[in-house]
Structure 1
């Protein structure tokens, strides 16, 4: 009888655990759907503003009324979902600006020439050659670059892409690139110069204590 009771208890606990896991999974799935819907609302807001006033830079460059803490969804239980569109503010590195960034003024690392890459701030020759090797379709190693042989000899080897980057973070897989090169001093990607990003070597991340935010290649 004791064995039967123990087994029954174990089954009951197992079922209860499964029910809780299913409930948590359902909640997580619901939250993901809501987050996606809110993000999409932000994209639609940006698209609408640009369609109606793309030539009015004051409208879309820094406009908290349109892009800061915007209510996108209110659920029956009182839960509210907001979106914010923000970017680095070069006029005041301690604050963000609420607006859009003209990506047309940025360099496409997937198609940029060797000369254009070399002209980027703080870009070294080995970074240029390694990026070109990483994105091209051949196995010919450039002077300071790296092909599959280099990546195969790493402690945790992996295959070279030999194709275009899918994300900026993928640069971290390229020889010569690290967090400082990709993110600069803005390792939390919030677009603001914070105390730990302007204190030299006192705390992470490394910075030059110059009162300006270096956003690295992400900027």
Structure 2
């Protein structure tokens, strides 16, 4: 009996072991399935958060399709909480089910719900296309915090097309001598992070104390060096479009067809403007007065002093000339257009000498575009809004004087520190507050900040517009779940607006607290 009893006991033990093993296996399988379910749910929430952030990018593109230029009158691209803060995309009964997006800009160290205009920054990819010597290009970089001549020249050597080393720079020989050798691009930068390959450039210089790359110095970062990084001042993408407010090409004042130019000017402005501008361009030589005595300079708009008339009549005694305060005649539009305008500013304060079809006399017309502040406040915004001398593609890389930080303005050629300070002090606080004359850089001339000659020198370097924008699109839930943060650059100079680049900033952290983004409990 005892052996049989032992066998029964052994069978019982085996059964218990098998049952326990099966139970443990079932438990492990159950835990594995629960874990897989949680992973799948987390992945699903992440995909949803990504879709929310991408919805924000599409919302930004939609707004820019309506207002592509930074000089848009209402300036809603700059700050627009209604369209960019906590916009509900996924609705649900619980906070965990409600998904939203926010579009955040943080230029200037302050958070707002809107976009950044890239024309407020120094474009590294155009810095060598603007003319000037090596010292001038270096000086534009020297205004950046903690910049040195060695690093500035190394950056310029990295992006120039040759292998000739600048005074303090570094070319292929240096980079090939490193433990892990590589070659400089000798061409345009593809992203700002590429600067970290340049000799002397460090993450601290490029990003400053902003470890989570949200554009702000957060409380946990303020203990570090709070100096802003160079990314706040640099871009690779700024440009402008040459379209009028209706989205149509501006009138090219330098086009070759006189009849087309005249017709376009009549439609956009009036016949007087058309006659004066076409007449200016038809002159074989620009009409010049002799130096006017100081007491007789700058007569009132539309008036010609008696002494000026007498002097002109004496000079032209061999030619019968009629003097006019305003254009009054029809031009022969078959005549060639001999003169080119460097900018519309060339028209200011100028007389023209023309020959009308119905008259044998030449006519000298007094300045139609007076060199007086109130007159310029009226005609310059209209002229620059509808006409251009730059063709279809204005120069890339011009600095938006209404938005650029003082460090960037100080680096613009012909802008010294005092002028940069005055620009910052007198410009509108936000695009929505800009008056019509502030929507063009010529407000410096209108408001008496600079004289005409200085304005002509600054015009190729400054703008009040721009059509490329940057922002961070954040997709999130009201409570819990993933948060996805995408840095996006959008070119609104094309229709529809084109996404230039998207960078996932999520690995650097959430960046913003949910209530601040617009999460609702």
TM-score (norm 1): 0.68
Aligned to 1:211: none
8 Å CA contact 1:74, 1:80 repeated in 2? yes
Aligned to 1:145: 170
Measured at CA, do residues 12 and 98 of structure 1 come closer, stay the same or move farther in structure 2, by a change above 3 Å? Answer: same
Distance 1:127 1:112 in 2: 15
1:172 aligns with 2:193: no
Structure 1 runs of 4+ with >6 Å offset: 2-7, 136-140
Aligned to 2:140: 119
1:216 aligns with 2:233: no
Distance 1:151 1:124 in 2: 23
Distance 2:200 2:124 in 1: 15
CA-atom RMSD in angstroms: 3.8
8 Å CA contact 1:128, 1:145 repeated in 2? no
1:66 aligns with 2:101: no
Distance 1:36 1:190 in 2: 17
3-state SS of 1:49 partner? helix
8 Å CA contact 1:62, 1:99 repeated in 2? yes
Distance 2:189 2:150 in 1: 18
Q: 2:102 aligns with which of 84, 92, 109?
A: 84
What is the CA distance between 1:132 and its match in structure 2?
4.5
Measured at CA, do residues 192 and 140 of structure 1 come closer, stay the same or move farther in structure 2, by a change above 3 Å? Answer: same
1:41 aligns with 2:55: yes
What is the CA distance between 1:140 and its match in structure 2?
6.6
Q: 1:207 aligns with which of 226, 232, 235?
A: 226
8 Å CA contact 2:104, 2:111 repeated in 1? yes
1:130 aligns with 2:183: no
What is the CA distance between 1:175 and its match in structure 2?
2.3
Structure 1 portions without partners, runs of 5+: 209-213
3-state SS of 1:97 partner? coil
Bigger relative contact order (CA 8 A; separation at least 6): 2
Q: Rg bigger for which structure?
A: 2
Measured at CA, do residues 153 and 65 of structure 1 come closer, stay the same or move farther in structure 2, by a change above 3 Å? Answer: same
8 Å CA contact 1:183, 1:217 repeated in 2? yes
Structure 2 portions without partners, runs of 5+: 1-13, 129-133, 234-521
Give 1 or 2: higher helix fraction: 1
TM-score (norm 2): 0.33
Distance 2:154 2:82 in 1: 44
Equivalenced residue count is 204
8 Å CA contact 2:138, 2:149 repeated in 1? no
- CA displacement 1:104-134 (0-9 Å, x = unmatched): 4433434542654651333333323433455
Distance 1:74 1:4 in 2: 49
3-state SS of 1:26 partner? helix
Distance 2:212 2:33 in 1: 36
What is the CA distance between 1:37 and its match in structure 2?
1.2
Measured at CA, do residues 146 and 67 of structure 1 come closer, stay the same or move farther in structure 2, by a change above 3 Å? Answer: same
8 Å CA contact 1:129, 1:146 repeated in 2? no
